[in-house]
A and B are shown apart, each in its own frame.
Chain A
Amino acid sequence: MTSDVLTLLKLDLRQSFRPSSVKGKRSEKRSSFRRLIPLVALGSFVIGISLIIVLVGPRIWSYVEGAVISDPGLGATIFNAIVLFAFLSSIMVSATTVGNSAKMEYLLVMPVSMRSIFLEKTVLVVLYNSILWLTIGIPIFVGFSLISAARLALLSAPLFVFMTLMLVSLGVSLGGLIGLIFTRLLAGRRALKQVGYFVLSGGAIIFSAYWYYSIYYGDSGGQVFEWLINLARSLGFSSNITPGYAASVLSLGLLVGLPLTVQDIVLALAFALSSFALLRANSILSERAHYSGWLAVGSKRSSKKLVPVLHPMWAPRAIPIAATNTTIGVSIWYNITSVRREARVLSQYLLGPVRIVIWIVLPIFAVGEQSLVLTPYLLAVALIPFAISYGVYFAGYEIVYEGKNLMNLQLAAANMEDYVKGKIYSALPFTLGATVVFSIIIAFLSQSMLIYLPAIAASSLFVTLASGAIAANAAAIGGDFKAERMILRQRGSAAQMPIRGWSILRAQFAPMLLGFGGVSLMLAVGFFFNPLFTYLVLPVFSIVCLQIMKTYAHGAGVKLAQIEATKYL
């Protein structure tokens, strides 16, 4: 089984990392720069951290050593966070792999047990989830172990690697198992499944956002685990039984030369064995899920009885006011319908911006009480990431996910500018929804901002229009039109953005600049002069946004109309 898993891993890794260029004439030749940039970036990052440790390490070593000696479980919170993040990001991984097993039929017919194939896919996810932690952690451990006087300090780095892989395996396999159990319970109940996906994905986003929050506000950043620890305590366990504690006490203990206790080693071994057992359970359950057909797509099943299908009148009009012509109307309908039918995608799109809001707003809060004066402003601009993201997702990403459908649009000689506009307009109802929610929050928390509310609400709609057009244009330039709308792509299971290279930066940052810059300017003139001035700037800002939309939607439409079939077929 192990050799099979290793051979399968080789295939997947070969697909994802190809340092040498492909020789064939038909394949796109990528420059050495493009091929090697991920390795160079990774290497630079590792060298950067190593340098910092070499320069700063000797000065802070005595403090680090003292802190670890007084509390070897110091790193438990961070190590537990590794489990948590792996868990949250992997809830639907196994279910998705099984659900997409038709895409790896060439593997399933090979003389390898299906369990080995599913195990390899889980191991691959573990490796991908570990890269970040290992990239950060290895130079730190290697750097400090060179400074440390402890005899076995150098062993702390390989032990850290082992422990990280163990922690991530725990999180990934637990998440995968929960996802599979969840799909088993909901097998055949499409509507309930969609609601479940929405709630779980939404919950994961909110939970991870709360985790960031706890890092900024908590004493140790471990508040999320408090209830877990309390529960363990109430069941008669001590709080030192978490996998993070075991990882911390062994790796950091070895680094500073603390004697390892038998209990700690047994605890770590127990968690390591549990992670192996859970990985195996995951593969067994995945195989059962594959054979039982829990995850078979309902639409592929035929009805036992012949039921004559009566089609209602075809008149898709999602937003009648915006549907100025048939192409726009159809585009709006198609976009909203296709996103709405994938609850996971809908929740990622609608709640995903919470993560951006947290990163933008909380560091300012972390400054302390003096930043409280900024609260009303922060509440107001917290709406902007939503307005931008909805535009980027619904117009930018979704135009890429049209994929092969672009052929139909090109053959029908559809006006692609209108089609792009439809995609942009389809984001508006969601921005409007977010505006209502934020208006209620602002009305309760900051009455001083009430006067600006209509301006903020109106400007957020215009920001969505401009962001959508900018993102659609960037997508038309650098979109991977063969990408599929999945969190993990099956092409080697590598997570890839639908828009690549500089285009994704353009799609993300240009709208940010416009949104935050424009709204901040509008509010600033209101704060410093008179709220009336905000309403004088609003029409100007709206016209700018509309002009941007017009220009970029036209640009995107022209590019999409001219795109070659090889890009999407």
Chain B
Amino acid sequence: MIESLGLTKTFSEFTAVKDLSFKVEPGEIYGLLGPNGSGKSTTMKMLLGLLRPTSGTARIAGHDIINDVVAAKRVMGYVPEEPVLPERLTGWEFINYVADIWRMPRGSQRQQDIEELLTLLDISDASNDLIETYSKGMSRKISLVAALVHRPKILILDEVQAGIDPRGAATIKEILNGLRSKGATILMSTHILEIAEELCVRIGIIKDGSMIAEGTMDELRMMAEGQRNLEEIFLALTGGPDMQRIAQYLRGSGESS
């Protein structure tokens, strides 16, 4: 289970996350949505122990992220928004290295598990190449393999499907649904609202570091009266595009070349 208990993070005078509390139960996919710069990644980084909260705390499977961070990390898998990976290792070496760090026993079972994940995500062919040769989508896929290889109870995914091909995106969706049904706790952020609507059991929308709405799709529909899908709900709650400025820009740009 993930429990965020009044997480707050300030950078100098700027408060990125304000008193954020939410809970993600086992067997649940929770979508953390919000405009750019709303504090989603900062929240995730605090949950991962990469940033220390200015106040408040969080518990990951019962482990406090301030006092027991290594134990908390041991049960988590994470896919960052922009994976920065060891470029001079091959994909295969990197995954085995991750498995070593998570102290997975070496042997044929481990090799089989890794091979299976690489094949599932269509990067088995490239696994002997240096990571520096990977495309963005491939880096994200290898990052997902690294997050899944030690079979974590809890997954934190930051824009996991961005830049992934349709087949890969569908595979990821199936994997996540499968893990959820097996009792995994999954927290994901995404800007692709159709995916959030389809996958997430509950959704939290944050703006300027604060939670402005939280609940199931039905609960969110009730909050944003008259809106049917998640995109309409999201725009109603966080503000839609500035049509006047768009029109002004389009008038100024004239005929495109």
Contact = CB atoms under 8 A, between A and B. Distances in A.
Contact of A108 (B50, B74, B102, B128): B50
A111 B102 contact: yes
Interface string B49-92: 11110000000000000000111011010101001111111100
B11 A23 contact: no
Nearest to A302: B14
A337 B54 CA distance: 35
Nearest to B37: A302
B101 A103 contact: no
Interface stretch (A11-19, A436-444, A450-458, A546-554): A11-19
A301 B11 contact: yes
Nearest to A104: B84
A314 to B, nearest CB: 18
Contact of B101 (A23, A110, A302): A110
A109 B97 CA distance: 14
Contacts of B201: none
Nearest to A16: B88
A304 interface: yes
A24 B133 contact: yes
Contact of B50 (A15, A16, A22, A105): A105
Nearest to B150: A111
A482 B74 contact: no
Contacts of A303: 13-14
Interface string B2-31: 000000000111110000000000000000
Given A25-B129, A26-B129, A27-B133, A11 B11 contact: no
A255 B88 CA distance: 42
Chain A at the B interface: mostly helix, strand, loop or mixed?
Answer: loop
B121 interface: no
Contact of A18 (B83, B88, B132): B88
Interface in A1-56: 4, 7, 10-11, 14-16, 18, 22-27
Interface string A80-119: 0000000000000000000000111110111111000000
Contacts of B199: none
Given A24-B130, A24-B133, A293-B11, A102 B84 contact: yes
Interface in B127-179: 127-130, 132-133, 143, 146
B128 A22 contact: yes
B76 A109 contact: yes
Contact of B89 (A14, A113, A482): A14
Interface string A294-306: 0010000111100
A245 to B, nearest CB: 40
Interface in A476-511: 482, 491-492
A482 B88 contact: no
B101 A15 contact: no
B98 interface: yes
A111 B126 CA distance: 27
B48 interface: yes
Given A22-B90, A27-B130, A492-B86, A106 B14 contact: no
A25 B124 CA distance: 12
B231 interface: no
B101 A7 contact: yes
Contacts of B97: 7, 10-11
B93 interface: yes
Contact of A109 (B14, B50, B128, B133): B50
A106 B11 contact: no
A109 B130 contact: no
Interface string A503-535: 000000000000000000000000000000000
Contact of B126 (A18, A24, A102, A109): A24
16 contacts: A4-B101, A15-B86, A15-B88, A22-B130, A26-B129, A27-B129, A106-B146, A110-B73, A111-B73, A111-B74, A112-B70, A112-B101, A113-B69, A291-B52, A293-B11, A491-B86
Interface of B: 11-15, 37, 48-52, 69-71, 73-74, 76, 78, 80, 83-90, 93, 97-98, 100-102, 125-130, 132-133, 143, 146
Given A15-B88, A291-B52, A293-B11, 20 more contacts: A11-B97, A16-B88, A24-B90, A24-B127, A24-B129, A25-B129, A26-B133, A27-B130, A103-B84, A106-B83, A106-B84, A106-B143, A106-B146, A108-B49, A110-B102, A111-B71, A113-B70, A302-B11, A304-B15, A491-B86
The 5 nearest A-B residue pairs measured at CB: A24-B129, A15-B88, A24-B128, A111-B74, A304-B13
